[in-house]
Amino acid sequence: MNELFWSEKFKIRAYEVDIHGLAYLQTIFNYLQEVASNHAAALKADKENLKRLNYTWVLSRAHIHLNSYPRWHQTVQIDTWPSKKETYYGLRDFEILLNDTVIGRATTSWMMIDFSQRKPVKLPDFLNGVEYSEKGRALIDSFPRLPLAENIEAEAEFSVRFGDLDVNRHVNSGHYFTWALEAVPVEIRKKYHVVDFQINYRAEALFGDIIRSQIEIRKRKAEITILHRLIRKKDQKELCRALSLWQPFQS
Q: What is the CA radius of gyration of the chain?
A: 18
- Give the DSSP H/E element, type plus range, for residue 29: helix 25-42
Q: What is the pLDDT along the chain (251 residues), one digit of tens a residue?
A: 589 999 999 999 999 999 999 999 999 999 999 999 999 999 998 878 888 888 888 899 999 999 999 999 999 999 999 999 999 999 999 999 999 999 999 999 999 988 788 889 999 888 888 889 889 999 999 999 999 999 999 999 999 999 988 887 888 889 999 999 999 999 999 999 999 999 999 998 999 999 999 999 998 778 999 999 999 999 999 999 999 999 998 75
pTM: 0.94
In CATH, 1-144 is 3.30.70.20: no
Distance CA 196, CA 218 (A): 15
The span from the CA of 151 to the CA of 220, in Å, is 17
CB distance 146 to 198 below 8 Å: yes
Which DSSP category does 123 fall into? P
Pairwise CA distance, residues 244 & 197, whole Å:
4
End-to-end Cα separation, the chain, in angstroms: 41
Q: Please tell me the distance from the alpha carbon of residue 226 to that of residue 207, in angstroms, as a whole number.
A: 27
Give the list of residues 6+ apart from residue 97 with CB closer than 8 angstroms, or none.
76, 77, 78, 79, 103
pLDDT at residue number 170 = 84
Residues in contact with 232: Cβ distance below 8 Å, sequence separation at least 6, in sequence order: 203, 205, 209, 210, 211, 212, 239
Domain limits of the chain? Answer: 1-144, 145-251
**Spatial CA neighbour of 107 closest among 86, 85, 88, 92:** 92
Entry field: residues in the chain: 251
Angle between helix axes 173-182 and 25-42 (nearest 10 degrees) is: 170
CATH architecture of 145-251: Roll (3.10)
Alpha-carbon distance of 90 to 95, in angstroms, equals 17
Sign of CA dihedral 242, 238, 150, 164: positive
What pLDDT was estimated at residue 251? Answer: 58
Structure confidence at residue 247 (pLDDT): 95
Same fold, 1-144 and 145-251: yes
